[in-house]
Amino acid sequence: MSEESLIKEIMEEVENLQNSIVEYCPEVISNSQYPSIKEMGDDMNKLIEHRIQLLAKYQEEQETSQQD
């Protein structure tokens, strides 16, 4: 599985989770003491994407070092 397809799949899952929260737990969003969960969504997506990229890079480095 390529890095891009992995990121795409995970981002789809994150979006599905966010949609489920909105659909099944609207009180979580309306009563949140934190800044708007909707506003935080994009930042969380970027953070998750960044972490995935770091993990993919780390995995690639591990595979390279094992081949040596």
10-residue mean pLDDT profile of the chain (68 residues): values are 82 84 73 60 78 87 84
Handedness of CA 20, 28, 48, 55 (dihedral sign): negative
| Residue partners of 46: CB distance under 8 A and separation at least 6 | none
End-to-end, the C-alpha distance of the chain in Å comes to 23
Report pLDDT for 39: 65
pTM to 2 decimal places:
0.42
